[in-house]
Amino acid sequence: MHILVCGGAGYIGSHMAKMLVGLGHSVTVFDNLSTGHRQLVKWGRLVEGDLLRPADLKALFDRERFDGVMHFSARSLVGESIRDPDLYFQNNVTGTENLLRAMREAGLQRFVFSSSAAVYGNPAKGLIDEAHPTKPINPYGETKLRVEEILQSRAAEHGLNSVSLRYFNAAGADPQGETGELHNPETHLIPNVLRAAKGECALQVFGNDYSTPDGTCIRDYIHVNDLCRAHLLALEYMEKKPGAHVFNLGIGKGFSILEIIRAAEKVVGKSIPFTYAPRRPGDPPVLVADSTLARKTLGWQPEYLDQEEIIRTAWSWMAKDRFKL
């Protein structure tokens, strides 16, 4: 297959491109490099362009034929979305609408969307399944939910087949160390814990007064390669089952921030200092996935269940100084 990977110069997109090429598929990466990195496009061909410029998309689809699109292009910082919601709706919603319009004009009907657990907001129960109410508490989550709603409409109106994958917390890196997280600024917990271990930053834990056993937020951390495998299964699933579909992706177990820090200390072999800071707006105390539907329907099984193993893959990437920002 020839797959268009939008946002393939970023964290998850670069891992996806590597996996696709490793399985013998052709990849074209479409990225404006605003948050992605040219040096991470090692698999497939890079086409620089912007989803907010329809002419860029028309030129791409006029020139190339694709068998499916994987969409990783989104702004994804909760705090930034609260400060500038218009930026998020323009990039995440309008950009996606432009992409879907270009796909329709090209007659392309298979679309895998990177959604988020942020669509759920504050959980009403322990394990969150797809039937849980969707009540985002920040603009980032609102944009993801809005795109899911658009995909439902496009399925009914134009026959677009789509799978929205609601990620919980993506973590880890390519086990071979060829790609990994490279954000600026870095807001994800595990890379910041490991940066603190290297002495590159002062680690802050935002809030220690949540209603959790140790007072810090609990999240479901899922390895990036497990996410990518779900995308491949989603492409196959759409061949058998048309329409718009939604699946959670997580391992079904939560870890607190302090538990992650302790696990990282075991990986790096030393204590990692940190300080407490006030809560960040828009952070729910607990987010843990019930991924039963993805397991049963897609046949998906996460391979990385041990947090130390996930952190070890991130550490092997971050221990390298090749891509300092």
Q: What angle do CA 12, 170, 122 make, to 5 degrees?
A: 130
Which tokens in the block code for residue 245? 């579909």
Which tokens in the block code for residue 178? 């060829």
Q: How far is CA 310 from CA 189, 219, 285, 291, 307, in A?
A: 13, 14, 22, 19, 5
d(C-alpha 222, C-alpha 212), whole Å: 20
**CB of 302 within 8 A of CB of 222?**
yes
Cis peptide before 213 (omega within 30 of 0): no
For the chain, the first-to-last Cα distance in angstroms comes to 34
Which tokens in the block code for residue 286? 């607990």
d(C-alpha 260, C-alpha 193), whole Å: 8
Neighbouring residues of 15: CB distance < 8 A, sequence distance ≥ 6: 173, 174, 179, 224, 225, 227, 228
Give buried/exposed letters for 19-51 (b at 16+ CB in 10 A, else e).
bbeeeebebbbbbbeebbbeebbebbebbebbb
Out of 11, 120, 140, 237, the active site residue is 140
**CB of 22 within 8 A of CB of 238?**
no
Which tokens in the block code for residue 63? 């020139």
Residue 267 is inside which H or E element, if any? helix 257-268
Would you tell me the crossing angle of helices 95-106 and 139-158 to the nearest 10 degrees?
20
237 belongs to the catalytic site: no
Catalytic residues: 140
